[in-house]
Structure 1
Amino acid sequence: MLLKKLQLKTIDYKLVLTMCFLFFFNSIISAQEIIKDTVIQKPVQLQAGQKQKIDGIIANVGDYIVLDSDIDKGYLEITAQGGSVKDITRCQMLGKLLEDKLYAHQAIQDSIVVSDAEVRGMMDDRLNYMIQQVGDINKVVAYYKKNSVEEFKTYFSDILKEQKLASEMTKKIVDAVEITPEEVRNFFKKIPKDELPTFGAEMEVAQIVVEPKVSKDDKQKVIDRLNAIRKDVLEGSSFATKAVLYSLDPGSAPNGGYYKMTRKTPFVKEFKDVAFSLGEGEISEPFETTFGYHIIMVDKIKGQEVELRHILISPTVSEDALKDAKERITNIRNKIVNKEISFAEAARTESDEKETRANGGTLVNPNTQDTRFELTKMDPTLYSQVSNLKDNEISQPILNTDDKGKKTYKLITITNRIDAHTADYAKDYTKIKELALKEKQITTISKWFDTKIKDTYIKIIGEYRDCNFVYNWLKK
């Protein structure tokens, strides 16, 4: 594939900066990789002894422009990720850039909005990463040949906004695609028998989770800490900075705690109730969810949409609480091993994990929403916990620490194994449906390009008009 990633041993800071800067918002599916590759009639490249071209506009898509240097930056981004560019022509790279520009242009026509607060959050994330890599923001500014940090931020925010618009447009197209059981059936029927996909070995896994009990004193320490942070913000400190420094939410902390949400956004009820009870500029009192304790500050309210920042802090679990949790889960395991209770029944009555308790502890694969886990694609931590288990064997108590630092004990068992096999419609319906949906999404995106290109002002200049693009950018 065009952007295949390999491992690089060393990357200089210029390479890192360009890698950070480009292509942060990939499509939900990489249509340009899956559908077709650009076919070149005449490669566009400098000949031996030919002078370096002066950078300039080589294409327009609506109000957007593509510079010749944008193609060079594209090559550098791929190299920075460890990919090979030897088989990628400048025409192919231009084709990808034109796609991105058309996505962004149409997003504006469709009234897709990317807020300034959202861009600022993304910029903070990117700049923090760049500075971590090179050590000095002035190196970032100098590399992009800007005269000041503010000039660079203005330039950078425009690029980030364009990339986010393209991402949202792609998501809008893909999310609108639905597929019926009849379409899935027809998709499967048209695959020749000797070309049916092969699915790797899989397993179904169940678990029982016991959470250590947190003392009232430990909870109060967290509440007091959040109240102190809240007081500092009310007195003029930056909520976003506090979130970066103290929040334990990995999904939002790098962006200053930023989230954009509606009442349909899949957040826990307690969080949404507080978020939608606040006015612009208000900061909540500390409140509890299953993840820990939060405070929320609302940045902006747009109709049914709220832009907010939050800080999450979880109480520290004491050694005594961990010891008690281990004893409790050991007793549960002994009952299962002694046939006093089944694993599924123990999960329903004893597990502290609400997401799996009702279905006997069975885990759902977050990538497929199925109960099967393909061994070659399984999360490495989960794989290490189940790889040596025999059928119906119960693991010893496992101390687990999640990405927020929360500690729990759990028992794991394998409830079913599926050997590697050729696709079977009845047994593999979920996977076949996923493949059929992806094909329909790709076809939809291809048709979208064909339609929008006809309705959009597009101009390609110079020798790039010799490229024979798959999409009709030249409107011949």
Structure 2
Amino acid sequence: MLLKKLQLKTIGYRLVLTMCFLLFFNSVISAQEIIKDPVAEKPAELHTGQKQKIDGIIATVGDYIVLDSDIDKGYLEIASQGGNVKDITRCQMLGKLLEDKLYAHQAIQDSIVVSDAEVRGMMDERLNYMVQQVGDINKVVEYYKKSSVEEFKTYFADILKEQKLASEMRDKIVKDVQITPEEVRNFFKKIPKDELPTFGAEMEVAQIVVDPAVSKEDKQKVIDRLNDIRKDVLEGSSFATKAVLYSQDPGSSPNGGYYKMTRKTPFVKEFKDVAFSLQEGEISAPFETTFGFHIIMVDKIKGQEVELRHILIAPTVSENALKEAKERAANIRAKIVSKTITFADAARTESDEKETKANGGTLVNPNTQDTRFELTKMDPTLYSQVSNLKDDEVSQPILNTDDKGKKTYKLITVTNRIDEHTADYAKDYTKIKELALKEKQINAIAKWFDAKIKDTYIKIIGEYRDCTFANNWLKK
């Protein structure tokens, strides 16, 4: 029952995540066409027995209003992401919208700022994805029932800004919520044995990465190119435009190289060191990371947070260099297979991947920060590389191309397999800790809502006053 309660509490939280445009992040909805053929019916009409009515204000939260049509738009957004709207009532949708309005209202009260640059970056990112799916911005405009691209962009910018304010406010509420080992232990003890969760089959994986050698001449060509771009920007050219045209970072190039980061953001050390050494408006000299060469321009500094743009260009790798890297990987494999050296020791001495070599090549799951990878959730590329390996078998050299186009050779081995099993406190501590932390965060959000609803002007009009809400929006 405890886990079931946690799942019920989490429904609203998952709905919040679903309602936001889940693109380019670790989405729980599989990537698919976000825009289908134009619909003949309004999403609200999926719920039968409702009369058509004139649009109007149905709720007020602080400085924000909710229109009856906003509920229909909510259904549209979920459906456009492939979500199932069949079991979501209009009352539940309104409750979610009220939550977002209160988050956004309170964010403004707390002086949380979402810059125009952030909104433009999100806009470019989303629109690029949408257009890739349907091939034409006009189809996007038609789907959202707008008369022009400009009208759609204005409408979309308001939505994105409000969503970002809500997201920042949620993050602020939970960012300082921490869980102690004692709280994790007590959480686990409260779960009845017959309700303990089952965790799927997992494996632990290690790898050795061999980078192809890049000549000094090829590196200098990239440095010279970045210096030319830097010079153009200093003379008045747009850094954002240059990033769109030339940067090889797929995560930021479409939105002008834009990133917002703090010192805790998981970027490589060299990148963060340069980013936090610059003043507003300053452009760095070219510098190197494992991804290639970069230049950074800082747009804005807000306390511990930096808004920046960057351009990444990687040197060209010759076919001869790739061949030599493959031969080097094959030689390392031969030593491991002949038991001249262990895989872990070979990783420590031979691997070119700084992030894993110190730990014997052991990979860390980016979603859980644990060393285990659940097979059903494993990255498809990684799964294809390890699925046929036997215990302690070392793969042949694998040519790997990352999302930035960088080519390397790697050796992979499976170091541990964990069968599907009922949760065990010692073996599954990390996962149990995640569940306990999520429950504590949900409780913190619920407490925040209780307090802010009391202190905020909220009015719900008409038939929606008959709704049963999870939060006390009616202040009864």
Superposition TM-score, scaled by structure 2 size: 0.87
Structure 1 residue 337 displacement after superposition: 0.9
What is the distance in 2 between the residues matched to 1:202 and 1:303? 41
For 2:239 and 2:66, locate their aligned partners in 1 and report how far apart those are by CA, in whole Å: 37
Deviations 1:284-335 (A, max 9, x none): 2222122111111222233443321110011111111111111111111111
Task: Find out whether 1:256 has 2:264 as its counterpart.
Answer: no
CA contact (8 A) 1:44 1:91 kept: no
1:245 CA drift (Å): 2.4
Q: Which runs of 5+ in 2 are unaligned?
A: 1-10, 19-27
Letter in 2 for 1:98: L
**1:269 is matched by which residue type in structure 2?**
K
For the residues of structure 2 that align with 1:147 and 1:414, how far apart are their CA atoms?
55
Match of residue 344 from structure 1: 344
Secondary structure of 2:171 counterpart? helix
Paired with 1:142 and 1:422, the residues of 2 have a C-alpha distance of: 49
Alignment-derived partner of residue 34 in structure 1:
none
Q: Following TM superposition, by how much is the alpha carbon of 1:126 offset from its aligned partner in structure 2, in angstroms?
A: 2.6
Task: After TM superposition, list the pairs within 5 Å mapping 1:151-300 onto structure 2.
Answer: 152-300=152-300
Hey, what's the Cα distance between the residues in 1 that align with 2:84 and 2:46? 18
CA 1:358/1:9 → structure 2, altered by over 3 Å: closer, same or farther?
closer
- In the other structure, the counterpart of 1:461 is 461
Q: Distance in 2 between matches of 1:80 and 1:216?
A: 49
SS of the equivalent of 1:370 reads coil
DSSP-derived class of the 1:459 partner? strand
CA distance in 1, matches of 2:307, 2:460: 39
How far 1:137 moved relative to its partner? Answer: 4.7
Q: Is 2:327 aligned against 1:324?
A: no
Q: Percent identity?
A: 85
Alignment partner, residue 374 of structure 1 = 374
> 1:13: how far off?
6.2
Note if contact 2:36-2:80 (Cα within 8 Å) is conserved in structure 1.
no
Change (3 A) 1:14 1:127: farther
Q: Answer yes or no: is the 8 Å Cα contact 1:44–1:464 preserved in 2.
A: no
Please give the alpha-carbon distance, in whole angstroms, between the structure 2 residues aligned to 1:447 and 1:377: 33
1:18-57 map, 5 Å: 47=49, 50=51, 52-57=52-57
Cα distance, 1:140–1:204 mapped onto 2, change above 3 Å: closer
Contact map agreement 1:75 1:85 (CA 8 A) in 2 = yes
Give the letter for the 1:123 counterpart. M
In the other structure, the counterpart of 1:416 is 416
Matches within 5 A, 1:46-125: 47=49, 50=51, 52-125=52-125
Deviations 1:116-154 (A, max 9, x none): 221222122233334445555566567667676555544
Name the stretch that deviates more: 298-307 or 244-253. Answer: 298-307
Shift of residue 282 of structure 1?
A: 2.8
What's the C-alpha RMSD, in Å, of the aligned pairs? 2.7
1:210 shift after superposition: 0.8
Deviation at 1:46? 7.2
- Matches of 2:214 and 2:277, distance apart in 1: 28
- Indicate how the Cα distance of structure 1 residues 7 and 343 shifts in structure 2: closer, same or farther if over 3 A, else same: closer
Tell me the residue number matched to 2:353.
353
Letter aligned with residue 437 of structure 1: L
- The separation in 1 between residues aligned to 2:115 and 2:317, in whole angstroms, is 39
Answer whether contact 1:280 1:301 (CA < 8 A) is retained.
yes
Please name the residue that 1:383 is paired with: 383
Asked if structure 1 preserves the Cα contact closer than 8 Å seen for 2:58 and 2:68, the reply is yes
State the 1:70 CA deviation.
0.7
Q: 1:288 to 1:6 in 2, by over 3 A?
A: closer
1:441 maps to: 441
TM-superposition CA deviations, 1:396-441 (whole Å, max 9, x none): 1111111111111111111111111111111111111111111111
Query: Greater CA deviation, 154-163 or 173-182?
Result: 154-163
Contact 2:34–2:80 (8 Å) recurs in 1: no
How far the C-alpha of 1:273 sits from its partner, in A, is 3.4
Q: Is the partner of 1:450 in helix, strand or coil?
A: helix
Deviation at 1:172, TM superposition (A): 1.5
Asked whether the equivalents of residues 35 and 134 of structure 2 are also in contact (C-alpha less than 8 Å), the reply is no
Which SS does the other structure have where 2:396 is aligned?
Answer: coil
**Aligned partner of 1:218: which letter?**
D
Q: 1:360 is paired with a residue of what secondary structure?
A: coil
The change in CA–CA distance for 1:266 and 1:416 in structure 2 (over 3 A counts) is closer
Give ranges in structure 1 of 5+ residues lacking alignment. 20-42
Structure 1 residues 388 and 135: CA distance shift in structure 2, 3 A: closer
CA contact (8 A) 1:293 1:312 kept: yes
Deviation at 1:9, TM superposition (A): 7.5
Q: Is the partner of 1:213 in helix, strand or coil? A: coil
1:44 and 1:407 map into 2 onto residues whose CA distance is: 49
- How many residue pairs are counted as aligned between the two chains? 449
Shift in Å at residue 456 of structure 1? 0.9
Deviation at 1:10, TM superposition (A): 9.0
Measure the CA separation in 2 of the matches of 1:305 and 1:83. 34
Rounded Cα–Cα distance in structure 2 between residues aligned with 1:87 and 1:413: 44
State whether residues 223 and 293 of structure 2, in contact with CA within 8 Å, keep that contact through their aligned partners in structure 1: yes
Residue 297 of structure 2 aligns to a residue whose secondary structure is strand
